[in-house]
Structure 1
């Protein structure tokens, strides 16, 4: 039951689109798995949000989640995963998604 005095129980969905939840889940998984530190995640996301503010981006959920993506990309590059490697993997996942029947799990 929604309680208006509880900030952890928001009255409406927190995410506009599923990819937003997935991006944050990915970041949480990287931290929990020890691949990045919580401090590195917080610092990198904070820097990306500051960059967006400096560019004059509006203070919206879209701006926030684009900063989340940028932070994830920056952290993967710091871990030695090049943009080219990331693009290749993205293309592999997209091809797998397109050949997977609806309702079935996507696998590489």
Structure 2
């Protein structure tokens, strides 16, 4: 992690309540969680949204999930984070919900054809 990435992570942790963390900063249970966090920090740095907007959107997403029965045991935090990221970038016009669905379907197709333990790589045929 570069110095600027570390600084951005520190600001994010200070700005967004309840980020799972330890003394060194945010902690992640899987690589995709760190990637979603990094994408969010990058989009914030590019001015797509403020931390106040992010925190309000994430809070609303978590409340919506809890109202729908999410037991909030901690393991779903970054699922809510990712849903918030997808919703905000669609609302802000960075991408469309259709493109998000298209890539999600392509990823599922790529995962289905990839042998266990191998890296998943999107190919043009995954979008068919």
Aligned to 2:99: 85
Shift of 1:17: 0.6
Moved over 4 A (4+): none
Question: Which residue in the other structure is 1:9 paired with?
Answer: 23
Q: Calculate the TM-score normalised by the size of structure 2.
A: 0.58
2:83 alignment counterpart:
70
1:19 alignment partner, one of 32, 35, 39: 32
| Count of matched residue pairs | 90
- 2:65 is equivalent to residue 52 of structure 1: yes
Distance in 2, matches of 1:14 and 1:98, equals 27
The answer for unaligned runs of 5 or more in structure 2 is 1-20, 111-119, 124-128
TM-score for both structures, normalised by structure 1:
0.68
Q: CA RMSD in A?
A: 2.6
Within the candidate set 41, 47, 72, 1:34 is matched to 47
